[in-house]
Amino acid sequence: MKDLLVVGSIHTQDPARPLAEAVLVSGGKIACVGAEAECARRAGEGALRIRAGSVVPGLVDAHGHVQGLGRARREVSCTGASSAEACARRTAERARSVPPGSWIRGGGWDQNRWPGAAFPDEATLTRAVPDHPAVLSRVDGHAAWVNARALAAAGIRPGTPDPPGGKILRGAGGRPTGVLVDAAQELVFAKIPAATPAETEEEILAGLRELVSLGLTEVHDASVPPGALDVYRRLAEADRLPIRVYAMIDGEVPLPALEAELARWKGKGEAGRLTVRAVKLFADGALGSRGAALFEDYADDPGNLGLLLSTPDALRAKVRAVVAAGFQPAVHAIGDRAVSEVLSALEAAGDLRAARPRIEHLQIVRPREVARLAASGAIASMQPVHATSDGPWVAARLGAGTERYRGAYAWRTVLRAGVPLAFGSDFPVEEADPRAGIADAEERTPRGGTPFTPEERISRTEAIAAFTRGAAFAAFAEGRRGVVREGMDADLTAFGGELLRASPAELRALPVTHVIVGGRVEWGAGGR
């Protein structure tokens, strides 16, 4: 591998030297950070020279779903559909090219964008797609809209009871309306044939290729089932991963199965660009589908507190098992009651600072529990894009001006309390673009709206830190990545303009010119 000399405004995220003119990459590591002449003098013969507008440490998405992203590109997309009928029409179009009886999958719908904001009905989808079982995930993945064939395949009838942690929405006479919330989705998902290893590999690589094109050098894959972990390991051993992957083992299995999976990976979690050392657990659902667990009723659904997906005892037992096996617990918690339950589970497990537990999303924290959060040693793994995409309806769910509304997406509060902050996007639920994430953190403004609790905005430099240093800390990699410093892994993201001086609108469109992972150009001129 030839040396690389990258010249531009190097924003290092290193407090000792925040700005430099050049960085020299040699043998996959950073060999010089400083003046251009100095780094050029130390470059080896035939070094490749890259002139960039600005450069930051490689951007990391600390929470996304890689296979889901790759699959979403092959599925029906109802993103932007203006009505249930429009979404059903798109599904019918796809069904035309698929043999009758085969499953049609899709997602991206959001009833909040539709006339009346009501959940859709199976009849609309059944009329459009009568001959294929069809299942369309809600934009947040916490509800599914299915047609009559899919209900029949899953055996869901008027008398079918709600499974624990889930809800079958019903109409007159108990008729299932075709919307399955949280754990009830599994009744249908369990009937869909699993992806083959070849399909899994294709979906993972498609997802990773899209991520590198957006400027990402690493992703934390938030919940990977055993088969996909094996695919990751094969790809890593063959050096076919375009970016680094920090994989979280899927913890939503019975405890004995989880313990077996942990035993399988213990001491074997590092292979090339792959690290397997975290476990994804769930405390609740999501706010959009009113599945996030709140202390008080949803402001727009009296009597509904959302759902805790497991009992406090079961969550504690899993956290304890994960920590005992030497892994990092990463627990999805969105509502204030779920966040509180996770804190109780962490406290019950003793001093977890060394295990670096993560709370994924952490969307609503009661102000009175911020100090408890800081004392727990937990990392806040948050997604700035949620504040802008949820912004249009979050006041309706929580009640504008309430204490819990002020505790929503509270990045400034989290930073002020000294809680380590890592940023991601939760793709494919949201766009994976880190430029949009940085701009959203700074603006907190839903498209065409007004800023949402603007006192929780953070600066561009703080947002970049959460996508670099913060994400590195969340993956136990702060000694190797997250800042541009001599001796560190040469992971760099280069832009065609000045990242810190661009307006937020310019930042969203700033071209990514080079993505360098371990000293190799994975995106842009000079790549493999």
Report residue 412 as tokens: 């400034």
Of residues 69 and 346, the one with the C-beta less far from Zn ion? 69
Question: What length does the chain have?
Answer: 528
d(Cα 81, Cα 110) in Å, to the nearest integer?
8
The answer to whether residue 221 forms part of the interface with Zn ion (CB under 5 A) is no
Part of the chain binding Zn ion (CB under 5 A), chosen from 32-40, 49-57, 111-119, 420-428: 420-428
CB of 190 vs Zn ion, minimal distance in Å: 20
CB of 338 vs Zn ion, minimal distance in Å: 14
Of residues 395 and 471, the one with the C-beta less far from Zn ion? 471
CB of 384 vs Zn ion, minimal distance in Å: 14
Whole-Å CA distances, 391 to 152, 279, 405, 445: 37, 29, 11, 8
Of residues 426 and 491, the one with the C-beta less far from Zn ion? 426
Q: How many whole angstroms from its chain centre is CA 397? A: 22
Read off the DSSP letter of residue 370. H
Contact 215, 59 (CB under 8 A): yes
Helix locations, 362-455, DSSP H: 370-376, 384-398, 403-406, 411-416, 434-443
Could you tell me which residues are beta bridge partners of residue 53?
none
CB of 136 vs Zn ion, minimal distance in Å: 18
Part of the chain binding Zn ion (CB under 5 A), chosen from 190-198, 215-223, 288-296, 459-467: 215-223
Part of the chain binding Zn ion (CB under 5 A), chosen from 221-229, 270-278, 344-352, 400-408: 221-229
Q: How many residues bind Zn ion (CB under 5 A)?
A: 2
Of residues 48 and 253, the one with the C-beta less far from Zn ion? 253
Of residues 84 and 330, the one with the C-beta less far from Zn ion? 330
User: What DSSP line would sit under 88-150, residue for residue?
Assistant: HHHHHHHHTTS-TTS-EEEEEE-GGGSGGGPPP-HHHHHHH-SSS-EEEEETTSSEEEE-HHH
Report residue 239 as tokens: 């050096």
Part of the chain binding Zn ion (CB under 5 A), chosen from 70-78, 310-318, 379-387, 419-427: 419-427
The answer to whether residue 458 forms part of the interface with Zn ion (CB under 5 A) is no
CB of 429 vs Zn ion, minimal distance in Å: 6
The answer to whether residue 440 forms part of the interface with Zn ion (CB under 5 A) is no
CB of 63 vs Zn ion, minimal distance in Å: 6
Could you tell me which residues are beta bridge partners of residue 134?
104
d(Cα 184, Cα 142) in Å, to the nearest integer?
10
The answer to whether residue 426 forms part of the interface with Zn ion (CB under 5 A) is yes
Q: Which of 81, 204, 222, 378 binds Zn ion (CB under 5 A)?
A: 222
- Chain residues binding Zn ion by CB under 5 A are 222, 426
